A and B are shown apart, each in its own frame.
Chain A
């Protein structure tokens, strides 16, 4: 199923991009329910306004959960060894997210060959929202 062969990975190889969105208010309500994160800043515009914000904004972990898939769709969910990302800007309602991933290192841990993959989520206007990296087992 892998489009880039896990066994012959090279630094600089790009994984297939993944697109998500546009983010809707309904999506934020569903993510609140599915995740159990009921922070009103994401689902209650009255709360957002009373906090001095112009509108609700997306759960960072919604974009994060989407971003993990740029790696897991390609490698399979059980090959993921670690995944981390920083939230560098807020994802707003109506943002459309593109997830990109590039191999930055291939290394050995014991008998396992692993690849480190730099990942990014980018909104439609080029604004980076998440920047991180994943480690996957190749062989």
Chain B
């Protein structure tokens, strides 16, 4: 704990959540959601749209696009909301007035298909400041895990608050 920084810190994130993991929840990956997501991104690869093409290529069903994690996370957070459980963004107290995305990285361990049921979990790794406290960061790690095929995706990312100018 850096006491000097905490005395003057004007951050918004709840730093007591460092090391915490939100409640893992299971989500069902739908064909329609894969198609819609790929289409909006201008991704016309038939692996994300045509069941027949995906089967002909040796896949059991439509393949989720590379950044489909965002959809799985949103579905998981909707389920958490129904159970009155916090999302990672709520847990660390993201403030959308000042929130930006720093970076995001995916490590692909196996394909995600329509029809899969995967467990989404997120852990709060760390908090830190930059630019003399004008920006504060949180780093998160998440996984999507299939009950028999294991971890299919691991992701790390940072979110940040670009803090308003200090008053007084």
Chain A contact residues, CB within 8 Å of chain B = 20, 27, 30-31, 33-37, 39-41, 47, 50-52, 60-62, 64-66, 68-69, 71-73, 77-78, 80-87, 90, 132
Count, A-B residue pairs, CB within 8 A: 110
Cross-chain pairs A/B with CB under 8 angstroms, 27 sampled? A30-B40, A31-B40, A34-B33, A34-B71, A35-B71, A36-B70, A36-B78, A37-B74, A41-B96, A50-B97, A60-B100, A60-B104, A64-B104, A68-B66, A69-B42, A69-B66, A73-B45, A77-B48, A77-B65, A80-B66, A81-B107, A81-B108, A82-B105, A83-B66, A84-B106, A85-B103, A85-B105
Chain B contact residues, CB within 8 Å of chain A = 33, 36-37, 39-43, 45, 47-48, 59, 63, 65-67, 70-71, 73-75, 77-78, 96-108, 111, 164
A84-B100 Cα distance, complex, nearest whole Å: 16
Given contacts A77-B47, A84-B103, contact A35 B70 (CB under 8 A): yes
Check B108 against A80 for contact (C-beta < 8 Å).
yes
A27-B164 Cα distance, complex, nearest whole Å: 29
